[in-house]
Structure 1
Amino acid sequence: MFFQLFISLLPLFLTVVFCLFVAKSSKLTAKPRPNLPKSYPLLGSYLESKANKNRRLEWITGFLQSSPTATFTLREPLGRRQIFTANPANVQHMLKTNFPNYQKGPNSRGTLFDFLGDGIFNVDGDSWKFQRQVASHEFNTKSLRRFVETVVDAELSDRLTPMLSNAARTGTVLDFQDILQRFAFDNICRIAFGYDPAYLMPSLPQAEFAKTFDDGTNLSSERFRTFLPINWKIRRFFGIGSEKRLKIATSDIRDFAKNIVREKKQELKDKSSLESVDLLSRFLSSGHSDENFVTDIVISFILAGRDTTSAALTWFFWLISRHPEVELEILKEIREKSDSPIFEEVKDMIYTHACLCETMRLYPPVPVDGKVAMGADVLPDGTEVRKGMGVAYHPYAMGRMESIWGSDWAEFKPERWLERDAAGKWSFVGRDSYTYPVFQAGPRICLGKEMAFLQMKRVVAGVLRQFRVVPAMQKDFEPELVVFLTSKMNGGLPVRVEERGECD
């Protein structure tokens, strides 16, 4: 009991000691440079960082917006430094030009290892190359794309649409973020495992695996926000507090996943030919049968496939509720494509695609991504990088840079992604992945990008064709983006659902 109290009070004790030191030496401390957080000996910018912990994205974004090169160095406690950049040239340098030098690094890998193991999102070097090669082959097959279409459409027609119809009929207020997370969780489990958790049901069941997965995600992300990493490592060693809960969550996640892997192995062994087309069956059938390897990679796919698409769609439905003229344009496009086959329909939804891109510009599912420099370097803007220094590119800030998007960057404006031809037809005008690194860029660019857009556009078409989604909050209410390993809308998105009439 005493030891646990000591561990919990350690950050406070260190802060007091540092503050006393700062008070004695403040007269000798030079004034901070303009447009940088205040920094003190030993403490660095910890005090200001702690004061802004609930708005860290906006806090960092402010410094990047005011920096001439959209880059600055944050001084952390005990002499550590972290570079943040929203400069496309720097992003390209990190993610492509000098890609081998900017890796996940041992600290990030150690922080997430209990949850993600040696999965593709938590490794570098040869291990990453091997997993990327295997996954890339499977993601590029037409049969997987058809399977994804079938899964998404079944979840839409059998579960999401009936649930929204019932809510419209009864006047029930739904947390649409929760609904979309359930939708995405069912989808990704069926696509990755060939397993249906039936999370999106009328009773809104509390699926144990989904809850445990949430705990694993949230508790793992808390490690990154610890004042000193040694704190969570001590808690893990003694099995106390949040680390005790994380150990239980990760153990349950891995046991659940391994049981599915074993069942799938047996299923494939009993079959004379491959009938299942989920990712797990594909990996096992191609000779990659190591239980830990397959478990790690599938857990990583669940993390990527569940929270990213649901986060993007949550913000999308809120934004179009604020812009009825955009919703009308989307609805027009949906009705024009209603007689097309599924894949052709979503492929040709140009305006909807632009709306989703604009949504993720303002609210990227992964708002910041950090790397570690394996060797000393100099970024294109002249920023010096020391070996072992953290360097993070910041998609959230990049979506708010006037130098990239113009003076109207704060506006939700799908037209910035579009142009009309001579006949007045929209065509999509994309941005390069270093200016818009929402799906990463370079060798690590997201393999599931096209799958994500397919799923999101099918949801948009399926929902808006039949329903109007109306936020059940005050018109001037501004939701808050909160970040775990991916971003979410704080408190969810309460909505009422209305059936569309024939003239809507």
Structure 2
Amino acid sequence: MFLELLTFASLLLLPILFFLFKFSSHPNPKTSNLPKSYPIIGTFPSLYKNHHRRLQWFTDLLRSSPSNTFTLHHSFGRHWVVTANPTVVQHILKTNFPNYQKGEASRSTLADLLGDGIFNVDGDNWKFQRQVSSHEFNTKSLRKFVEQVVDTELSDRLIPILSASAANNSVLDFQDILQRFAFDNICRIAFGYDPDYLLPSLPEAKFAVAFDDAVQISSERFGLPHPVWKLKRALGIGSEKRLRAVVSEVREFANTIVREKKRDLSEANALESADLLSRFLSSGHSDEKFVTDIVISFTLAGRDTTSAALTWFFWLLSQNPRVEQEILKEINDTASSESAAGGGYDEVKEMVYTHAALCESMRLYPPVPVDSKQAANDDILPDGTKVKKGMKVTYHVYAMGRMEEIWGEDWAEYRPERWLERGEERGTHKKWKFVGRDTYSYPVFQAGPRICLGKEMAFLQMKRVVSGVLKRFKLVPREREGGDEPELLAYLTGKMKGGLPVTVLERA
């Protein structure tokens, strides 16, 4: 019956759609490169047509705009601002920060998974969580704990799996391996729980699979009109039926961990606060929903961003052997230097070229390709674009990494040296000095008051992985059909379509 009604409704709409296409509105001469806008449905036909390549399509539109900003007429009278202009990004992320919030549309889309966690709230709720989290992230004890977790996972799990693959001449999906590595890491850091996801058998851990499905389905909601996924949720059909089941699994698991942790801390009477959950509970934040929401948010951030960044990094290295050799030389120099004797943190601080190479790979393939805010009130952006209350404003991180105005004519080249300058003499060669870009030209970790709290933790983890893997192994990606470069899939984070199948070779 449902299919019959849908077919009947489609037949009724055909004459209306013909009229709309026949008498479409003409584009403004000043924005002639933008897609045509039609009455009622706006630019939906072009959005739908380019959905499979939307990152590159938006990049092309932004390049053709004089201010690197444009406004799309979406369906039903909605308007949508998209920008790759650093001045505009600074305006929305810092200068007029109170006006650009997550917004109700984004909150409701992610509420089932993230609840009222730090990445899904605004106002006083966000300020409170930010203050609590910022205190914990800035402690030396947490940094030390992160080092221990990463090094243990690296030496006990990741390296042995790569050694076995090299010995057996087998092919590994290195994206999957990195996701498992990151998931074990972040669960131990956030919950104090080890899901054993990166074992030689590569198990299908129930919590990890449920979490992955919950993230993917939640992100797919952004590509649907709100009434569509909300109707599916109300009827309990399709992807929304699956989402309800996996979110229930995730939250039930997280709640169980919280209750067990509270009991353990109460019985111990000595608060050994290592993981984030223990730290929040021992500092007096005992509300189960509060700590569950915030820890799920950190699990999402820590799991997908670092694994996505490393996946693209190792692929880029395979295409740029010169850069790989520079990193290997730095790893060897760092390992033999006296400064490395202080431990893991001191060692990664010396990995300046590697740091630049990671920044450069995230410029081209950012872990979070786009991010959006919603205007709380009317506003005018620095380039003159008018924003009405309730409009969505998106800063396009992927496009910004491909802007000649920001990175120069060689923006398409993978060149870590653009982040470096020669420093003082060290031994027989000059030491590199890292030169960062302002966060509004390079908002890979966001910017302004919401800048990523885990940025230093992420670099620590990534540089330890790069060092541990490269000094033992060479990863050779299998050639893709047609020799094309991998495709970036933009969910909440940017994954590599089809994974990263590699052959692992032991270094002499």
Alignment of 1:57-456 (within 5 A): 57-226=55-224, 228-339=225-336, 340=340, 341-421=343-423, 423=425, 424-456=430-462
Match of 2:501 among 490, 494, 503: 494
Q: Displacement, 1:6?
A: 5.1
Aligned twin of 1:478:
485
Instruction: Tell me the SS of whatever aligns to 2:241.
Output: helix
How far apart in 2 are the matches of 1:265 and 1:275? 12
Greater mean alpha carbon deviation, residues 338-347 or residues 441-450? 338-347
- Would the aligned equivalents of 2:26 and 2:37 in 1 still touch at CA under 8 Å? no
| Superposed counterparts of 1:29-48, under 5 Å | 29=26, 33-48=31-46
Aligned residues of 1:18 and 1:42 also touching (Cα < 8 A):
no
Aligned AA for 2:113?
A: F
Question: How far off is 1:388 after superposition?
Answer: 0.7
Q: Which amino acid aligns with 1:303?
A: L
Q: How many residues align?
A: 497
In structure 2, how many angstroms separate the alpha carbons of the residues matched to 1:5 and 1:213? Answer: 36
Task: Give the aligned residue type for 1:178.
Answer: D
| Partner secondary structure for residue 419 of structure 1 | strand
Q: Is the 8 A contact 2:476 2:502 kept in 1?
A: yes
Tell me if structure 1 keeps the 8 A contact 2:26–2:36: no
Letter in 1 for 2:489: V
CA deviations 1:109-136 (Å, max 9, x no partner) are 0111011100000000000000000000
Q: CA deviation at 1:493?
A: 0.2
Asked whether the equivalents of residues 185 and 210 of structure 1 are also in contact (C-alpha less than 8 Å), the reply is yes
Pick the aligned partner of 2:18 from 5, 17, 20.
20
Q: How far 1:342 moved relative to its partner?
A: 1.1
Q: Distance in 2 between matches of 1:15 and 1:379?
A: 38
Q: Is the 8 A contact 1:4 1:240 kept in 2?
A: no
Q: Aligned partner of 1:498: which letter?
A: L
Q: Is the 8 A contact 1:18 1:43 kept in 2?
A: no
Deviation at 1:235, TM superposition (A): 1.0
Asked if structure 2 preserves the Cα contact closer than 8 Å seen for 1:194 and 1:276, the reply is: no
Q: Secondary structure at the match of 2:504?
A: strand
TM-score by length of 1: 0.96
Give 5+ residue unaligned stretches, structure 2.
Answer: none
Q: CA deviation at 1:25?
A: 2.0
For 2:175, the aligned partner's letter is Q
- Following the alignment from structure 1 to structure 2, what is the Cα–Cα distance between the partners of residues 43 and 70? 24
Letter in 2 for 1:365: P
How far is 1:240 from its partner?
1.1
Q: Which residue of 1 aligns with 2:466?
A: 460
- Identity across the alignment (%): 66
CA distance, structure 1, for counterparts of residue 158 and residue 290 of structure 2: 33
SS in 1 for 2:467: helix
What is the deviation of 1:477? 2.9
Q: CA RMSD in A?
A: 1.6
- Which amino acid in 2 is paired with 1:64? L
Q: Secondary structure at the match of 1:112?
A: helix
CA offset digits 1:228-264 (Å, max 9, x no partner): 2101111111111111111111111100000000000
Residue 413 of structure 1: how far off its partner (Å)? 0.6
1:499 alignment partner AA: E
What does the per-residue CA deviation read over 1:454-478, in whole Å, with 9 as the maximum and x for residues that have no partner?
0000000000010001101249331
Alignment partners' CA distance in 2, 1:408 and 1:67: 20
CA distance in 2, matches of 1:10, 1:358: 52
Aligned partner of residue 23 in structure 2, secondary structure: helix
Using the alignment, how far apart are the partners of 2:9 and 2:110 within structure 1? Answer: 22
